[in-house]
């Protein structure tokens, strides 16, 4: 497994985070949640009252916040300017705004460069929306997770504060459209990725299937 990079892509609520952490733990690998990086930038801009309806305003500030990402799958961390942001980045306010921020090319260029730096020589499971297509296109294992709208909404409601299943259905449909149609690094399945529908699977079953796929590939 030395130098292994596992790219786990898919929309929100598909089970990427829990499965990625479980796989990393099982294989003794590091873990990176790239979505948390976009959320962290979004949270910082909301705190700074940046106009998130103005891509130019976002672009001007994109390089300012200092991010620090912990890659321990048992205790992943995210800090912005030295402040623990693990909780604040999971609010409904951040969720509603993150697609607008992540669509700005200057934000994506900055974070993709940082993600590649963290990946380095490998030994890591990386989850996001453009890992297999943009961040690590040479990853030997690429998996694209999907699930029904109902299952995804239920999972995301359990993860976030101040929201409901119906609200999450609507929010995720909107975000899916925004993420898959943005001009820069849209959400997409890599041509050589294996698609895994997690709707009817529990977490242990998803992890087991991903581990099986890794064994096949490596």
CA distance 125 to 149: 25
Task: Tell me if 15 is assigned to a ligand binding site.
Answer: yes
180 is in an annotated binding site: no
Q: Is 148 annotated as a binding residue?
A: no
List for the chain the helix, strand, coil content (%; round to 5): 50, 15, 35
132 among annotated binding-site residues: no
Q: Is 35 annotated as a binding residue?
A: no
Measured CA to CA, the distance from residue 97 to residue 87 in angstroms comes to 16
Beta strands 30-33 and 67-69: pairing type? unpaired
Q: Which residue has the tokens 């796989």?
A: 23
Handedness of CA 139, 117, 78, 51 (dihedral sign): negative
Flag whether 20 is marked binding: no
Is 17 labeled as ligand-binding? yes
Annotated binding site: 10-18
Annotated binding site for ATP: 10-18
């Amino acid at each position: 497994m030395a130098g292994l990079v596992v790219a786990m892509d898919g929309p929100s609520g598909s089970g990427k985070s829990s499965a990625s952490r479980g796989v990393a733990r099982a294989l003794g690998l590091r873990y990176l949640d790239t979505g948390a990086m976009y959320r962290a930038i979004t949270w910082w801009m909301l705190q700074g009252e940046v106009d998130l309806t103005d891509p130019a305003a976002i672009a001007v500030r994109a390089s300012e916040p200092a991010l620090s990402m912990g890659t321990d799958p048992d205790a992943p961390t995210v800090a912005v300017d030295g402040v623990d942001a693990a909780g604040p980045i999971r609010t409904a306010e951040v969720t509603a705004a993150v697609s607008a921020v992540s669509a700005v090319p200057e934000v994506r260029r900055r974070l993709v460069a940082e993600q590649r730096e963290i990946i380095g020589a490998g030994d890591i499971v990386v989850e996001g929306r453009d890992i297999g297509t943009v961040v690590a296109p040479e990853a030997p294992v690429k998996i694209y997770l999907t699930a029904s709208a109902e299952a995804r909404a239920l999972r995301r409601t359990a993860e976030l504060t101040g929201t409901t299943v119906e609200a999450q259905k609507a929010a995720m449909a909107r975000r899916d459209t925004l993420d898959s149609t943005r001009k820069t690094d849209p959400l997409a399945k890599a041509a050589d990725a294996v698609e895994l529908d997690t709707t009817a699977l529990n977490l242990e079953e998803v992890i087991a299937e991903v581990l099986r796929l890794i064994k096949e590939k490596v």
